[in-house]
């Protein structure tokens, strides 16, 4: 068993959490400290974090910072930024920070400065995207590209898809589409509306062996060849990958391959060539702003003291809620329609990174690691699952995310959006007591048995924690900072939990068994359980 839960720092947080839970409620903490909102706010890379509606005191933060110290946060951060093989099970660095480092930076991986390589690829991406966007890059019949389709899954899909959606208002290139699922429905539907002569396919896969991506890419290739010729492939298919050999076998010319490296984890890759679709959609300059925002957050993470450090604070708050206050899950509620894909990106980031049950040494852990993360945009979510957040039996802390300025002229609606966002976090914290409900109902003329029957349904327990992150507006720079904030939050949590956030062995078994099931479906003799065999027979 791991020694973390027996350690001095862990036990100190545990004891303190017990005492705090007996002695206070969040709303009461505001009454005790007129400066609470300011005390529990921090700024970094243009983002503002208000965590005063979390159930904690200055002592909680101090003890949590001590826990992070005990777990070697400073040492692990040095190792991460130093390009050391922090991904121990694959003996790789996790140097996604180098992908957004300025041209003048120097960052080593295995003794080699990777920044020139990074900028070499960024320059190629920019030049290629410009040719596509301007119409200079033509399809095999000499027509300009009108539609671009990124084929990829997981990290080769979620990041670029989310960013393209978030920055859609800035999109001034060809129409952008994303195909991920091996379910042929979206691809079949999309190809019905596309012209093969004016469509460019970006096949994005770190390994270039992922079953779903290869199946979709082959289908797209066949669809193209129904009208085009083999020598037209070079005008319509480009690849983003680390695997030159497999790209070649697929028939994509090496000149049309945009490379990245094994030290870029899939879920940390949108800043690399995996972001090619973003560059085509919004142009290299705006993609540069996205990288600059992420880099600003990297610098903030590297230099701010823990008590002012957004990723560190958010990570420790998450650990506090999950491990010490026993909250059930983590909710993400962006109050921005354009951030509708953020929860899905974050699910891979946090749950593929920290959804582990053995520590770095391979020992089983006796504490909870990443909570399930879920969410949707406000205000829609208020009319869907917020009922449970307010009155359900379990506590689900919420991250509210709000761009302060709108990117449209409907300012009244933006005021309503903001008001709803702030009101929800206030309501979760305050709740409404039976006495308050009773007084309200009496004022409305209700009394007697009818009144008493109505009261319990209208009571809100309150004391439900949340944080609010304000972006100045939803632009490339702020978005880059926001995404890097969550990347570093996941890293800090992994350090405290002593787990490797950069591997994902948990996805392998299902992949292996899918091969066996396919063989069984082909009639081969494969050892399978009765249920799986029955399902195969039933669908035959």
Q: Give the integer Cα–Cα distance in Å for 235 and 237.
A: 6
Among 53, 92, 177, 267, binds ligand F6P (CB under 6 A): 267
What distance lies between CA 383 and its chain's CA centroid?
A: 23
Among residues 53, 133, 206, 464, which is the contact residue for ligand F6P, using CB under 6 A? 206
Alpha-carbon span 315 to 351, nearest angstrom: 14
Both structure tokens of 135? 């119409």
**Stretch of 91-99, 119-127, 203-211, 276-284 contacting ligand F6P, by CB under 6 A:** 203-211
Residue 485 CB, nearest approach to ligand F6P (Å): 20
236 CB-near residues (< 8 Å, 6+ apart): 139, 140, 196, 199, 200, 201, 224, 228
Stretch that binds ligand F6P, among 130-138, 207-215, 309-317, 477-485 (CB under 6 A): 207-215
Which member of 60, 213, 322, 425 binds ligand F6P (CB under 6 A)? 213
Which of 123, 139, 259, 131 is CA-nearest to residue 196?
Answer: 139
Q: How far apart (Å, rounded) are the C-alpha atoms in residues 198 and 457? A: 58
Could you say whether residue 210 binds ligand F6P (CB under 6 A)? yes
Residue 267 or 477: the one with the smaller Cβ distance to ligand F6P is 267
Answer whether 247's CB lies under 8 Å from 254's CB: yes
Distance in Å, CB of 267 to ligand F6P, minimum? 6
Residue number, 2 or 210, with CB nearest to ligand F6P: 210
Residue 334 lies near ligand F6P (rule: CB under 6 A): no
Identify the helix (H) or strand (E) that includes residue 128.
helix 115-134
Contact by Cβ (8 Å): 107, 263 = no
Closer residue to ligand F6P in complex, CB, 20/264: 264
Interatomic CA distance for residues 150 and 277, integer angstroms: 7
- From residue 226 to residue 265, the character string flagging contacts with ligand F6P as x (rule: CB under 6 A) and all else as - is ----------------------------------------
Candidates 94-102, 162-170, 204-212, 252-260; binding stretch for ligand F6P (CB under 6 A): 204-212
- Within 414-473, which residues bind ligand F6P (CB under 6 A)? none
Site string for ligand F6P, 130-159 (x = CB under 6 A): -----------------------xxxx---
**Smallest distance from the beta carbon of 495 to ligand F6P, in angstroms?**
20
Nearer to ligand F6P among residue 64 and residue 240 (C-beta): 240
- Give exposure, 315-324, as e/b (b: 16+ Cβ within 10 Å): bbbbbbbbbb
Residues that bind ligand F6P (rule: CB under 6 A) add up to a total of 14
**Residue holding tokens 């429905």?**
185
Closest to ligand F6P by CB, 160 or 288: 160
Convert 420-433 to b/e letters by CB count within 10 Å (16 or more is b). Answer: ebeebbebbbbbee
Strand order in the sheet with 147-151: 175-179, 147-151, 199-204, 237-241, 257-259
Alpha helices in 24-114 (DSSP H): 26-32, 36-39, 58-70, 73-81
Q: Which is nearer to ligand F6P, 210 or 466 (CB)?
A: 210
Write down the residue that tokens 């379990």 correspond to.
394
CA pair distance 272, 96, nearest whole angstrom: 8
270 φ/ψ angles, rounded to the nearest 5 degrees: -65, -20
Q: Considering beta carbons, is residue 267 or 438 the nearer one to ligand F6P?
A: 267
Position among 46, 196, 266, 378 found at the interface with ligand F6P (CB under 6 A): 266
Which amino acids are annotated catalytic?
Answer: 352, 383, 511
Cβ atoms of 148 and 236 within 8 Å: the answer is no
CA distance 396 to 381: 14
Helix (H) or strand (E) holding 50: strand 47-50
Question: 202 vs 474, which CB is nearer to ligand F6P?
Answer: 202
Options 138, 207, 391, 420; binder of ligand F6P; rule CB under 6 A: 207
Q: Please confirm whether the linkage preceding 454 is cis (ω < 30° from 0).
A: no
Minimum CB distance to ligand F6P smaller for 181 or for 363: 181
Q: x/- site string to ligand F6P, residues 472 to 511, per CB under 6 A?
A: --------------------------------x--x----
Closest CB 64 distance from ligand F6P, rounded Å = 29
Decide if residue 161 touches ligand F6P (CB under 6 A): no
Among 200-208, 254-262, 413-421, 476-484, which window interacts with ligand F6P (CB under 6 A)?
200-208
C-beta of 430: minimal distance to ligand F6P in Å? 41
Q: For binding to ligand F6P (CB under 6 A), which residues are involved?
A: 153-156, 205-207, 210, 213, 266-267, 352, 504, 507
């Amino acid at each position: 068993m791991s020694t973390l839960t027996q350690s001095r720092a862990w036990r100190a947080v545990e004891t303190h959490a017990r005492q705090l839970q007996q002695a206070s409620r969040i709303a009461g903490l505001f009454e005790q400290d007129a400066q609470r909102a300011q005390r529990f706010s921090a700024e970094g890379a243009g983002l503002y974090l208000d965590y005063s509606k979390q159930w904690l005191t200055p002592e909680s933060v101090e003890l949590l910072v001590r826990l992070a110290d005990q777990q070697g946060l400073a040492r692990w951060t040095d190792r991460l930024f130093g390009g050391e093989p922090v991904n121990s099970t694959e003996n790789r660095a996790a140097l996604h920070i180098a992908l957004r480092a300025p041209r003048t930076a120097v960052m080593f991986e295995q003794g080699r400065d990777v920044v020139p390589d990074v900028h070499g690829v960024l320059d190629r991406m920019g030049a290629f995207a410009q040719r596509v966007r301007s119409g200079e890059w033509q399809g095999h019949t000499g027509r300009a590209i009108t539609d671009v389709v990124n084929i990829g899954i997981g990290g080769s899909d979620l990041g670029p898809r989310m960013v393209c959606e978030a920055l859609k208002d800035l999109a001034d290139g060809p129409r952008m589409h994303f195909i991920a699922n091996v379910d042929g429905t979206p691809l079949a539907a999309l190809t019905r509306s596309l012209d093969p002569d004016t469509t460019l396919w970006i096949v994005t896969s770190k390994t270039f062996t992922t079953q779903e991506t290869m199946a979709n890419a082959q289908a797209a290739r066949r669809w193209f060849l129904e009208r085009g010729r083999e020598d037209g492939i070079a005008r319509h298919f480009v690849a983003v990958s680390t695997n030159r050999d497999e790209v070649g076998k697929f028939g994509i010319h090496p000149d049309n391959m945009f490379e990245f490296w094994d030290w870029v984890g899939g879920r940390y890759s949108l800043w690399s060539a995996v972001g090619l679709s973003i560059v085509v959609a919004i142009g290299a300059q705006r993609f540069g702003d996205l990288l600059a925002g992420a880099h600003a957050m990297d610098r903030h993470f590297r230099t701010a003291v823990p008590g002012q450090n957004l990723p560190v604070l958010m990570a420790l708050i998450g650990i506090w809620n999950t491990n010490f206050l026993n909250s059930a899950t983590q909710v993400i509620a962006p109050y921005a329609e354009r951030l509708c894909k953020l929860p899905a990106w974050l699910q891979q980031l946090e749950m593929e990174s920290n959804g582990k049950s053995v520590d770095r040494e391979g020992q089983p852990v006796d504490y909870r690691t990443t909570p399930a993360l879920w969410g949707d945009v406000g205000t829609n979510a208020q009319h869907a699952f917020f009922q449970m957040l307010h009155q359900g039996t379990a506590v689900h802390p919420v991250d509210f995310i709000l761009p302060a300025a709108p990117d449209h002229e409907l300012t009244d609606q933006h005021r309503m959006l903001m008001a709803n966002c702030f009101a929800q976090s206030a309501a979760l914290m305050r709740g409404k007591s039976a006495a308050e409900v009773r007084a309200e109902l009496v004022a409305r003329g209700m009394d007697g048995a009818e009144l008493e029957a109505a009261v319990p349904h209208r009571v809100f327990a309150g004391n439900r924690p949340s944080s609010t992150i304000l972006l100045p507006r939803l632009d490339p720079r702020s978005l880059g900072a926001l995404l890097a904030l969550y990347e570093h939050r996941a890293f800090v949590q992994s350090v405290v939990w002593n787990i490797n956030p950069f591997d994902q062995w948990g996805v392998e078994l299902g992949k292996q068994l899918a091969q066996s099931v396919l063989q069984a479906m082909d009639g081969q003799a494969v050892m399978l359980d009765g249920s799986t065999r029955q399902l195969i027979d039933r669908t035959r």
